Amino acid sequence: MLRIGVIGYGYWGPNIVRNFNAIDGAKVTSLCDLNEDALGKAKKLYPSLATSTDVQSILSSKDIDAVAIITPVFTHFELAKKALENGKHVFVEKPFTSTIAQADELVELAEKKNLKIMVDHTFLYTGAVQKIKQLVDEGELGKLYYYDSMRVNLGLFQHDVNVVWDLAPHDFAIMDYVVPERPLAISATGEIHYNSFEDIAYVTVYCENNVIAHFNVNWLSPVKVRNTLIGGDKKMLVWNDLEADEKVKIYDKGVDVKTRENVYDLLVSYRSGDAWVPRIAQIEALRLEAETFVDCVKNNKTPVNDGLAGLRVVRMLEATNASIKDKGRLVEL
């Protein structure tokens, strides 16, 4: 039985507790939050849960095997570091840390102590992303050309980070998982209309082999959009995460190019065949992710969303912020 201590019971924490508790072989035994009301609510649902407002009760407890850190990003490093130092596996909310240096240190520490880190990139465990990953891996799309994502809606404004750190970790993590070509450099732009954090941002990521990725994130959109286009030289796909039943569509569309002999210009023609809507497995992503964490801890496996994946996402976030500050200046990764 993996005994899990959860730190943070705000917006997302209840989902974490519920899902870890639903797994055979795991149990949330302790919960910590500064808000006594939140603890009271948890206690009602899970009477046997030990609750406390003191994180030490979890970080230094001998009866806890793993710690789930569901707190604001600026606290991740300190909490995760102590948990690892005390020999506990760590499940941590995305984004992993506030800086690359912090992420590096945690990854190294975990490795030294032979502990697991999982960063909560939940989307990787959705049926849609798993189907997309499969399609790319099987070469269905051919050689990739671009990855273009739009994730916009009204609010929620965060108090400590800009729209990039709030929304883009989802998409950076998905791209990191799905696109085989490594990201090389970032040019990003954005604007601030309230307080001191960007509420709109546009991020271009240059990758190997001429793959270009782009991310449109916006807290000031009147409509909610969750749309991703992925184009390859064989096929292209559209992923609309707001569709109930038909999230992913693959198009047998593309460009055929022939070079005529002795002729400098290209003969470009268009291919437009059938489209195809694969059945997407109806899995609860967070449940599958929690199960994977438990499995990785118990059987010494490495999840796809390990500390290194978290580090790669933080590296893109840091570069994005640096580029935005300099109005699009190219920042190497």
Contact between 199 and 191 under an 8 Å Cβ cutoff? The reply is yes
Contact between 277 and 248 under an 8 Å Cβ cutoff? The reply is yes
Q: Is residue 21 close enough to count as binding its own copies by CB under 8 A?
A: no
In this structure, what token pair is assigned to residue 309? 């994946």
Report the 10 Å Cβ neighbour count for 79: 20
Q: Is residue 41 close enough to count as binding its own copies by CB under 8 A?
A: no
Minimum CB–partner distance for residue 53 and its own copies (Å): 23
Interacting residues with its own copies between 167 and 196 (CB under 8 A): 185, 187-195
**CB nearer its own copies, residue 105 or residue 148:** 148
**CB nearer its own copies, residue 102 or residue 323:** 323
Q: Is residue 255 close enough to count as binding its own copies by CB under 8 A?
A: yes
Q: Which of 167, 175, 251 is nearest to 213 (CA)?
A: 175
Residue keyed to tokens 């693959």: 250
Q: Is residue 249 close enough to count as binding its own copies by CB under 8 A?
A: yes
Minimum CB–partner distance for residue 254 and its own copies (Å): 8
What is the Cα–Cα distance from 4 to 65, expressed in whole angstroms? 6
Q: Is residue 238 close enough to count as binding its own copies by CB under 8 A?
A: yes
DSSP state of 226: E
Minimum CB–partner distance for residue 241 and its own copies (Å): 12
Q: Is residue 246 close enough to count as binding its own copies by CB under 8 A?
A: yes
Q: Give the one residue of 132, 175, 236, 296 binding its own copies; rule: CB under 8 A.
A: 236
C-alpha angle 168/180/16, rounded to 5°? 45
Q: Is residue 11 close enough to count as binding its own copies by CB under 8 A?
A: no
Instruction: Pick the stretch among 113-121, 122-130, 261-269, 303-311 that binds its own copies (CB under 8 A).
Output: 261-269
Q: Which of 250, 255, 252, 253 is nearest to 238 (CA)?
A: 250
Minimum CB–partner distance for residue 112 and its own copies (Å): 38
Residue keyed to tokens 């994946």: 309
Consecutive H or E run containing 293: helix 285-299
Instruction: Pick the stretch among 54-62, 89-97, 101-109, 225-233 that binds its own copies (CB under 8 A).
Output: 225-233
Interacting residues with its own copies between 266 and 285 (CB under 8 A): 266, 268, 270, 272-279
In this structure, what token pair is assigned to residue 141? 């799309």
The CA distances from residue 88 to 2, 84, 238, 261, 289, in Å, are 11, 5, 40, 65, 18
**CB nearer its own copies, residue 11 or residue 194:** 194
Interaction mask 113-152, its own copies, x per CB under 8 A: --------------------------------xx-x-x-x
Up-side HSE of residue 163: CA atoms within 13 Å toward CB? 29
Q: Is residue 216 close enough to count as binding its own copies by CB under 8 A?
A: yes
Contact between 95 and 176 under an 8 Å Cβ cutoff? The reply is no
Q: Give the one residue of 24, 138, 261, 265 binding its own copies; rule: CB under 8 A.
A: 265
Q: Is residue 251 close enough to count as binding its own copies by CB under 8 A?
A: yes
Consecutive H or E run containing 84: helix 76-85
**CB nearer its own copies, residue 284 or residue 328:** 328
Q: Is residue 223 close enough to count as binding its own copies by CB under 8 A?
A: yes
